[in-house]
Amino acid sequence: MKRLKINYLFIGLVTVLLALALWPSIPWYGGGKDALSQIKSRGVLRISTVNSPLTYYTINNAPAGMDYELAKRFADYLGVKLEVTVRPNLGDLFDDLDDGKADLLAAGLIYNGERLAHYQSGPSYYSVSQQLVYRIDKPRPKNLGDLKGRLIVQSGSAYLSTLRSAKADSYPDLDWAISTDQGQKALLEAVADGKLDYTVGDSVTIGLLQRIHPQLAVAFDITDEEPVTWYLPRNEDDSLNAAMLDFYSQMGEEGAMARLEEKYLGHVGTFDYVDTRTFLRAIDNTLPDIKPLFEKYSASMDWRLLAAISYQESHWNPQATSPTGVRGMMMLTRNTADSLDVNDRLDPEQSIRGGSEYLQRMMEKVPETIPEDERIWFALAAYNMGYAHMLDVRKLTQKQGGNPDSWADVKLRLPMLSQKRYYTQTTYGYARGHEAYNYVENIRKYQISLVGYLQEQEKRLARQSALEAELGAGYPAVEPKIAMN
């Protein structure tokens, strides 16, 4: 009996250990816990998203994007790691919620009442309008009843309910097709490439893509501004949503949300078709010869940022000269050039080296209280109008109740340095602050265009190589799946 009892104890112990090992993989694991407790027990916040110029992308092999950064901060707030799953379309995103593979969707999704029957929305973190787009060299439609061609929109998007309402209320002849395997970005690019007549997108994504595809034109707004939100499963458990509300409130109080909006949305602004086209042509025709110099002297900054600065300064013209006497690729003054051992300001290599070194000096002088990813904008303002005036505008910002360490707050005060009622309150007086404002904003736009355009070139070459390989192997090309409305 004693031997049998010991065997039973051994079997029981093995059973307990096996159960503990398999417990996390059992579907009903954590069934007695709320969603927030399950995430903390798991130690991982799982989000699903899409690849887009705003939500999630990679740069220099590192993840970036507004939704990614916001989700990473939320995971840090919860004390867990972040796990990101990138899906090709909206249908797969919501499948992840339905199948319990994601805790929330962070993909720049517009608030949509039809979704609330199955999902709950989180707080709004920015707003967009729905816009109809066409190619700029085609006739511009005046309204949804004036369309002459194919309109295709993304499957599962909020645009579908908007179009259905428009058809029912005002445009009974309105018709469209639904793309089941192309996302918003791909459809917008198809319009820009002349492969599609019309599609619908959100104003922010369109504004960002126009920096890379200037042929993309906005015909009109279909809706007023609408909130963008995250989505969660709909059930009686509000623990995760409650934590999210507290997190967003904390982000707002600390000014972190405003900084995130400034970083990703602050430079979208107005779009200049001619300037963008000119810049993209310069990328194709001029940049290849001078790219090695930007790579060589970029030091700790991204070479593409240094290239954007140089384009803003001289449009990559080594002979550029201004009426005030600044010259060369980086438009250095004589005194600055002397301090940097630049003997010939018209020599591209000397100018780029000197400009980079001077900017590094400005970066080193920027107060350490300014966040790392915003220091460059303060340094560029100082590069343009002088370090002393940058100190002035920070003091003016603080005096007016703003945050002198936040570029979003400081840049709004830059134009005040050229207004007597304000510059008389400063230590160093008048400065062309409005020029410094435009200077930094233009550089940010050029950087976005340059990064995106070069990435698109790489993807295009990769697709072409893959297609050539498939054709060489005898595989037929596959047409995109389109479901007719």
The domain over range 123-227 is classified in CATH as 3.40.50.2000: no
Domain residues of the chain, as ranges? 35-120, 123-227, 273-442
| Contact (Cβ atoms closer than 8 angstroms) between residue 240 and residue 104 | yes
| Contact (Cβ atoms closer than 8 angstroms) between residue 198 and residue 147 | yes
Residue identified by tokens 């999704």 is 109
Three-state secondary structure string covering the chain: CHHHHHHHHHHHHHHHHHHHHHHHHCCCCCCCCCHHHHHHHHCEEEEEECCECCCEEEECCEEECHHHHHHHHHHHHHCCEEEEEECCCHHHHHHHHHCCCCCEEEEEEECCHHHHHCEEEEEEEEEECEEEEEECCCCCCCCHHHCCCCEEEECCCCHHHHHHHHHHHCCCCCCCEEECCCCHHHHHHHHHCCCCCEEEEEHHHHHHHCCCCCCEEEEEECCCCEEEEEEEECCCCCHHHHHHHHHHHHHHHHCHHHHHHHHHHCCCCCCCHHHHHHHHHHHHHCHHHHHHHHHHHCCCCCHHHHHHHHHHHHCCCCCCECCCCCECCCCECHHHHHHCCCCCCCCHHHHHHHHHHHHHHHHHHCCCCCCHHHHHHHHHHHHHHCHHHHHHHHHHHHHCCCCCCCHHHHHHHHHHHHCHHHHCCCCCCCCCHHHHHHHHHHHHHHHHHHHHHHHHHHHHHHHHHHHHHHHHHCCCCCCCCEEEC
Mean pLDDT of 156-178: 95
Question: In terms of Cα–Cα distance, which of 147, 138, 199 is closest to 174?
Answer: 147
Q: Quote the pLDDT of residue 469.
A: 78
Three-state secondary structure string covering 241-258: HHHHHHHHHHHHHHCHHH
Mean pLDDT of 392-396: 96
Q: Quote the pLDDT of residue 459.
A: 82
| pLDDT tens-place string over residues 10-61 | 444 444 444 444 444 443 344 458 899 999 999 999 999 998 888 998 887 8
Rg of the chain over all Cα atoms, to the nearest angstrom: 27
Q: Quote the pLDDT of residue 474.
A: 58
The pLDDT confidence band at residue 484, using thresholds 50, 70 and 90, is: very low
Q: Looking at 69, 226, 313, 441, which residue is catalytic?
A: 313
Q: Quote the pLDDT of residue 460.
A: 82
Please report, to the nearest 10 degrees, the dihedral formed by the alpha carbons of residues 252, 254, 258, 260 taken in order: -110
Query: How many Å apart are CA 219 and CA 147, to the nearest integer?
Result: 10
Mean pLDDT of 449-453: 93
pLDDT at 8 over 60: no
Query: How many Å apart are CA 50 and CA 261, to the nearest integer?
Result: 19
Q: Which CATH number fits domain 273-442: 3.40.50.300, 3.30.70.580, 1.10.3210.10, 1.10.530.10?
A: 1.10.530.10
pLDDT at 295 over 80: yes
Mean pLDDT of 381-392: 94
Query: How many Å apart are CA 20 and CA 37, to the nearest integer?
Result: 18
- Work out the percent of the chain whose per-residue pLDDT is above 70: 91
The pLDDT confidence band at residue 477, using thresholds 50, 70 and 90, is: low
Q: Quote the pLDDT of residue 162.
A: 96
| pLDDT tens-place string over residues 340-371 | 999 999 999 999 999 999 999 999 999 999 99
Strand order in the sheet with 152-154: 152-154, 177-179, 482-484
Active site includes 313?
A: yes
| Backbone phi and psi for residue 105, each to the nearest 5 degrees, phi listed first | -105, 125
Mean pLDDT of 283-295: 97
- Work out the percent of the chain whose per-residue pLDDT is above 90: 74
The pLDDT confidence band at residue 467, using thresholds 50, 70 and 90, is: confident
Least confident piece of the model among 26-40, 141-155, 253-267, 329-343: 26-40
pLDDT at 379 over 70: yes
CATH class of 35-120: alpha beta
Q: Quote the pLDDT of residue 267.
A: 75
Query: How many Å apart are CA 62 and CA 52, to the nearest integer?
Result: 15
Whether 123-227 and 273-442 share one fold: the answer is no
**Chain centroid, CA 466 distance in Å:** 28
Q: Quote the pLDDT of residue 10.
A: 45
| pLDDT tens-place string over residues 227-259 | 999 999 988 888 999 999 999 999 999 889 989
Does 20 or 104 have the greater pLDDT score? 104
Q: Quote the pLDDT of residue 171.
A: 96
Q: What is the pTM of this model?
A: 0.84
Q: Quote the pLDDT of residue 201.
A: 95
